[in-house]
A = this chain, B = another copy of it.
Amino acid sequence: MKAELVIIGTELLLGETVDTNAAFLAQELAALGIDLYYKSTVGDNWVRIIEVMTQALARSDLVIASGGLGPTMDDLTREAISAVANLPLELDQEAMKMIEGYFQQTKRSMSENNRRQAFLPRGAKIIANHWGTAPGMIVNIQDKIIVALPGVPRELKGMFTTYVAPYLSQRITAKKTLVSRTLKFAGIGESQLAELVHDELLNQSNPTIAPYASLGEVKLRITAKADSSQQAYELIQPVEQRLIHQLNGYYYGADHETLESVVGAMLRERQETLAVAESCTGGLITNRITNVPGSSEYFDRGYITYSNQAKVELLGVDPSLIGQFGAVSREVAVAMAEGARARAGTDWSLAVTGIAGPAGGSKEKPVGLVHIAVSAKGNTKAKQFRFNGTRTEIKFLVAQAALNFLRQEIKDTE
């Protein structure tokens, strides 16, 4: 089965939007063992959409279109599929019910434009959209398939994963499967990591190992090709074990795991609780911790003490410490962590104080300097870091280092 993506939207040809849907769809198709040969992007222009869709349908077996399903006059994908497939648009009662249901549920009023979204080419199979108003569709034309999905990434991803992937997987006969597993490492740079596993990186064929650096972490993606997912996992497993063994201490999780989900799982298992005191990260750490479902089981509270007065009032930091060492100091980080743990009555606390920039730095205390402290009963440890980047990058790097420090401390008490 040869697949082609048709990405529709003028915003993509004006460079206002970076297309993340295409990469998502490409990965999903690879996982299904479907070869993606072409991706075409075209604006919201009737003539060119028709041209690109006709070509895609001629040379590919599966055409996945994204975008152009919204309620406005710019949205032409329904009409274009109707034209190239020669199937008239008809009101789909099921689609209309879904759209009405969405508006009722979100208590918003439905406009006449939204009714347009319920018109689908005759015989189209509707794809429910639980994340927005525009239903998607699957249209079969002889032995070819057109799938149309909205361009909003969370809608497209939800609908593809829930409905389209299972549908396609039924249609595919005996193919090689690609399976990937991504190992994640914190507290180490890409080249240092690559040196530690140099031999593994050299001697790879199936599975392959590819290193990727992103902000504050490094990933190793192990990819195996086999007749079944099971066989692919069996090829991956020994390589994964060796890599984790060689990079012990830096490895924190795989695939969808994050530092906050890993820390959360450790705390939940130990039935221990956490309080956080943040200055320069301004709530990013507690925000990440509370992104994890069920975090209320172990996360009690956060103190976002941006002003010095707040550090004194909320955490009981001695004002003379701030006067003597400055708010960005090891001493204040330790006092923040100990104050947070004592006042919240939790098992653990994590505190950060630093300079996120772009202003506020000095020669002795430059932008990017941060002190992080972790406190447990009778034991508080602090570390100093220095990061480079924009304000939001520094905030992220500090949060990453803080969560990794906490992870290591919890692990060490096992």
Taking Cβ atoms with an 8 Å cutoff, the residues of A that contact B are 5, 7, 10-20, 22-30, 36-45, 48, 52, 70-74, 105-114, 131, 133, 152, 154, 178, 180, 182, 189-192, 194-195, 201-202, 210-215, 221, 223, 276, 278, 281-287, 289-291, 293-296, 299-307, 309-310, 313-314, 343-344, 356-360, 386-393, 395
Bound-state Cα–Cα, A283 to B299, Å: 12
Contact of A301 among B5, B45, B305 (CB under 8 A): B305
Q: Is the CB of B291 within 8 A of A302?
A: no
Bound-state Cα–Cα, A288 to B291, Å: 15
Contact of A190 among B72, B276, B293 (CB under 8 A): B72
Q: Is the CB of B113 within 8 A of A391?
A: no
Tell me if A's interface is mostly helix, strand, loop or mixed.
mixed
Contact of A111 among B71, B194, B359, B360 (CB under 8 A): B194
Q: Are A201 and B39 CB-contacts (below 8 A) given A18-B18, A18-B19, A291-B282?
A: no
Residues in chain B near residue A387, CB distance under 8 A: 106
Given contacts A11-B221, A16-B221, A72-B211, 16 further A-B contacts (CB under 8 A): A11-B210, A12-B23, A13-B36, A15-B22, A15-B28, A37-B45, A131-B388, A276-B304, A283-B285, A283-B287, A283-B304, A287-B395, A291-B395, A301-B310, A303-B314, A313-B343
Bound-state Cα–Cα, A20 to B15, Å: 9
Q: Is the CB of B314 within 8 A of A194?
A: no
Residues in chain B near residue A358, CB distance under 8 A: 293
Q: Are A48 and B42 CB-contacts (below 8 A) given A106-B386, A306-B301?
A: no
**A13, A178, A302, most chain B CB atoms within 10 A:** A13
For the complex formed, measure the closest distance between the CB of A348 and the CB atoms of chain B, giving whole angstroms. 14
Residues in chain B near residue A42, CB distance under 8 A: 37-39
Contact of A39 among B12, B26, B214, B344 (CB under 8 A): B12
Bound-state Cα–Cα, A387 to B14, Å: 32
Contact of A16 among B180, B294, B395 (CB under 8 A): B180
Q: Is the CB of A306 within 8 A of B302?
A: yes
Q: Is the CB of B301 within 8 A of A307?
A: yes
Residues in chain B near residue A11, CB distance under 8 A: 210, 212, 221
Bound-state Cα–Cα, A359 to B292, Å: 12
Q: Is the CB of B300 within 8 A of A289?
A: no
